[in-house]
Structure 1
Amino acid sequence: MRAESTEALGIDLADPRHYEHDAARNLFARLRGERPIWWSPQADGRGFWSVLRYRDIVTVSKNPRLFSSARGLGGHRIHDETEVEITQGLEASMLSMDPPEHNTYRGMVSPAFTAERIRRLEASIHARVTALLDRIAPSGGCEFVSSVAAELPIQVIAELLGVPQEDRLRLFEWSNALVGEDDPDMRRSEEHIRQCTKDMGAYALKLWRERLRRPGDDLVSMLVGTEADGEGMSVPRYFATFFLLVIAGNESVRNTISGGLLALSQYPEQRRKLVEQPALIPQAVKELVRWVSPFLHMRRTATEDTELAGQHIARGDKVVLWYLSANFDEEVFEQPERFDVTRTGPQHLSFGQGQHFCLGWRLAELQLTVLFQELLRRFPDIEPHGPVRRVRSNFVRGIKEMPVRFTPER
């Protein structure tokens, strides 16, 4: 028996317009206060359960036996994966795997993201941030997403993969198309996404073949050369992993940089704290990620009849974990609607929970820390100046255009 649904309220939580116009936070707060689990029949014939509370999302995330990520059950997105999804014609990435398979493939990739390996990237990241800010410094203004927020993570991903920097814009275009299925500026047609998938797969295969002949110290070489239980990573698994690394590494950092700057501009007293006390920035980065919540949701599928927060969940039901809702859960965060760069306490859920906790979280936090340290030191008065255009998506919470102004350096 279904509980009262969002349909009765005229609400479709899969509708990307809630997120394009930044109305979702208030909507989730309202729904969370009425019932922690909501049924939404609108997405397709099956519908889905929306899990809104922090503690319930943790419960689902830590129980892959009952709540599966497997592609065969529909994968990790609200809608079942189709031919135009991220891994068209390919095997699933780690996001759409369950243990023990997930653990095997995660083990193949995790050596690239150890604390020591990430620390070795700090000087390179600092140099990239300096170069990006040098470029905009004399102008007194720029379009911030294309000039800074998007450039830093795609440059870092290209470096990690051993990809020539001149190819980074191709990675950027493919990443946009693969996650921006509801935004006409990013995905122009189904044919466009098919072509992007084909081109990205061909590019990844070229890198695979090159590293077989001449391995290096980059991430692609590691994927090509690694083994688990005596077996190497298959080419289809490599494709899916390559896609995941490009998309996850690009989207999370880009969206937090742009959304974080917007938040600091909306709360000038918080920005002033960071300008006057830059030592706060590493901790403040965690609040920026919570506040922005760059990935809105992940999805699971119930493998058997069960119960969650007193709500019956039937075998085969979709269960959508709304991280944006959990990151503002009043049960967990004191005054969650207060943006506070000195906030400590519970960890946000933007990097996931359980087996799918983000492998690249250290790299993301390092990029954000270095970027905001330098940005606020050099341009303490930087602020949006013009319309802010958000991505039309129910999956990523991003900004695609944000003009800014600041006192130019002379």
Structure 2
Amino acid sequence: MTAQAHGSLKPIDLKDPDLYVPGVPHETFTWLRANQPVYWNPETDGGAGFWALTRHADVVAASTDPATFSSARESGGHRIFNENEFPAQDIEASMISMDPPRHVDYRRMVMGGFTPPRLRDMEAGIRARAVNLIGAMIARKAREGGPIDFVSGFSAPYAIQTLAELFGVSEADGDKLFEWSNAVVGEDDPECRASPEYMQACIQQMAGYSMGLWQLRAESAGGDLISMLVKAAQEGTEMSIPRYLSTFILLVVAGNETTRNSISGGLIALDENPEQRERAVADPSLLPHMAQEIVRWVSPVLHMRRTAMRDVEIGGQLIRQGDKVVMWYPSANRDEAVFDEPFRFDIGRTAKPGAPKHLGFGFGEHVCLGQRLAELQLRVAYEELFARLPNLKPAGPPRRLRSNFINGIKELPVTF
């Protein structure tokens, strides 16, 4: 039986990107958790349909059993659509569309870029970046007056310039990386991906750019992520040129989307919960916990998909071999069975003993490799924003990305 949207005769279609334009449909997810937590979602565009997992426990179960729930491209990949039916020319599967043990092998190639010593070395540069961007916003407002866009003025360049540092390239390359990231994940938003031809042009530009970096690092390697990938290829791993390109694309997207949208969404959450903002300003020791609560609250990645490799029961529902299974992180992160008052924004939530883990960075083997870097960026960003723009606040509603994959904010007017 197909579930009905709350207060409507229209069936719930979690795949519909228009559903997310006003914001995450938490009312719908709440209804599903209570009534059909493992929900069969038909696809109106000819797809086979998929099982939607909306409870925290079921998402964790699927995330920690890769032998049963596969991410591999040959099984369908990590998105609702089947990646193996739309192979991109000269691009092989990246680690996000692999299962263990191959997935683990590829993670190891870049893990050195996210070690605690590496992050400590990066903090001063991240802080200087935040200070410079805040100064630029102040200067821009002095020139132009009125509200300015927080995304283009702070959260987007802050995230993408840190990615440039990870790649060992100039911050001036950030605009290109930003455009390419939007094109890759924004397939349902015409402002981000105007046409298939535009997307192909972005892929070609990324290929040319990334190969230029490959050649430079092959001649003179450093400690950046590109050097790590080149070194892995030189040491005889499976890091082929097509797979290097897919890994480069993955790093561009992952290094940009989560941090940018968490910072922007966090500003909205703090404005809607002024007592939590006052609490953070009064007690800076809560800022690392606030960073985690922002990621839980925003859930910047909406879903990941798996494919059942055998018949299996989850949440009391029989799932057949070959069925698509889609894990919805915003719903899992509001699960009443796991989180105390899940619809309350609480910056001290993870400071409490035994606090449950949010799934905003995923879970299991595929947990986000850069989660500690993202938390560091969030903490530093808000330390500097609180100190330098104490009355910063949204001046209007955000413009959101049309996407069922990324909980994205394209524009957020602010005043200070």
Decide which of 155, 171, 174 is 1:149's aligned counterpart. 155
Which of residues 33, 45, 48 is equivalent to 1:46? 48
Question: In the alignment, what sits opposite 2:81?
Answer: 79
Range 104-113 or range 331-340, more displaced: 104-113
Is the 8 Å Cα contact of residues 77 and 84 (structure 2) preserved in structure 1? no
Matching residue of 1:102: 103
* 2:319 alignment partner in structure 1: 313
Cα distance per residue 1:263-312 (max 9 Å; x no partner): 11111111111122222111111100000000000000001111111111
2:396 aligned with 1:379, yes or no?
A: no
Q: 1:48 to 1:383 in 2, by over 3 A?
A: same
Q: Which residue of structure 2 aligns with residue 251 of structure 1?
A: 257
Change (3 A) 1:63 1:228: farther
Question: Is residue 2:360 matched to residue 1:350?
Answer: yes
- 2: distance between equivalents of 1:84 and 1:149? 32
Alignment of 1:301-340 (within 5 A): 301-340=307-346
SS at match of 1:182: coil
Where does 1:364-403 land on structure 2 (aligned, <5 Å)? 364-403=374-413
- What's the CA shift string for 1:196-252, capped at 9, x where partnerless? 111111111111111111212221111101269853622122111111111011000
Equivalent residue number for residue 13 of structure 1: 14
The separation in 2 between residues aligned to 1:355 and 1:317, in whole angstroms, is 21
What is the match of residue 136 of structure 2? 135
Q: Aligned partner of 1:359: which letter?
A: L
Match of 1:164 in 2: 170
Q: Within 2, Cα distance between the matches of 1:179 and 1:306?
A: 31
Distance 2:14 2:299 in 1: 16
- Aligned partner of residue 337 in structure 2, secondary structure: coil
Counterpart check, 1:239 vs 2:258: no
After TM superposition, the structure 1 stretch with the greater mean CA deviation from structure 2, 270-279 or 166-175, is: 270-279
Asked if the contact 2:280/2:287 (under 8 Å) is kept, the reply is: yes
Q: Equivalent residue of 1:50, what SS? A: strand
- In structure 1, C-alpha distance between the alignment counterparts of 2:84 and 2:173, rounded to whole Å: 28
Q: Which amino acid aligns with 2:411?
A: E
CA contact (8 A) 2:3 2:11 kept: no
Superposed counterparts of 1:163-312, under 5 Å: 163-226=169-232, 230-231=236-237, 233-312=239-318
Matches of 1:48 and 1:65, distance apart in 2? 19
Name the amino acid aligned to 2:288: P
Equivalent pair of 1:84/1:193 in contact (CA under 8 Å): no
One-letter amino acid of the counterpart of residue 234, structure 1: S
Structure 2 unaligned segments of length 5 or more: list them. none
Post-superposition offset of 1:89: 3.6
> What is the deviation of 1:36?
1.3
Summarize deviations over 1:314-349 as a string: whole Å, max 9, x none.
Answer: 111000000011000001000100111111211110
**What is the Cα deviation at residue 23 of structure 1?**
4.6
Pair 1:245–1:314, CA change in 2 (3 A): same
Q: Distance in 2 between matches of 1:15 and 1:232?
A: 37
Matches of 2:11 and 2:2, distance apart in 1:
12
Say if 1:275 and 1:380, in contact at 8 Å, map to a contact too: no
The CA distance in 2 between the partners of 1:292 and 1:103, in whole Å, is 28
In structure 1, how many angstroms separate the alpha carbons of the residues matched to 2:277 and 2:75?
A: 45
Q: What is the CA–CA distance in structure 1 between the aligned matches of 2:245 and 2:291, rounded to whole Å?
A: 31
Percent identity over the alignment is 52
Letter in 1 for 2:412: M
SS of 2:339 mapped into structure 1:
coil
Residue type at the aligned position of 2:358: H
Q: Offset of 1:144 from its aligned partner?
A: 0.3
Aligned amino acid, residue 112 of structure 2: P
Q: Alignment partner of 1:191: what SS? A: helix
Q: Secondary structure at the match of 2:83?
A: coil
Distance in 2 separating the partners of 1:78 and 1:122: 36
Shift of 1:378: 1.4
Q: Which moved more, 1:36-45 or 1:174-183?
A: 36-45
Match of residue 123 from structure 1: 124
| CA displacement at 1:313 relative to structure 2 | 0.5
Give the residue type in structure 2 aligned to 1:77: R
Q: Is the 8 A contact 2:20 2:402 kept in 1?
A: yes
Q: For residues 369 and 347 of structure 1, what CA distance do their matches in structure 2 show?
A: 18
Alpha-carbon separation, structure 1, partners of 2:274 and 2:128:
28
Q: Is the 8 A contact 2:24 2:330 kept in 1?
A: no
1:68 has 2:78 as partner: no
Paired with 1:83 and 1:216, the residues of 2 have a C-alpha distance of 37
Q: Tell me the matched-pair count.
A: 403
Alpha-carbon spacing, 1:161–1:84, altered in 2? closer, same or farther (3 Å): farther
Q: Do 1:183 and 1:392's aligned partners in 2 also have CA atoms closer than 8 Å?
A: yes
Segments ≥4 residues shifted beyond 6 Å: 82-85
Asked if the contact 2:2/2:41 (under 8 Å) is kept, the reply is: no
For 1:350 and 1:363, how far apart are their aligned partners in 2? 14
Cα separation, 2, equivalents of 1:308 and 1:109: 33
TM-score, with length taken from structure 1: 0.94
Where does structure 1 lack aligned partners over 5 or more consecutive residues? none
When normalised by structure 2's length, the TM-score is 0.93
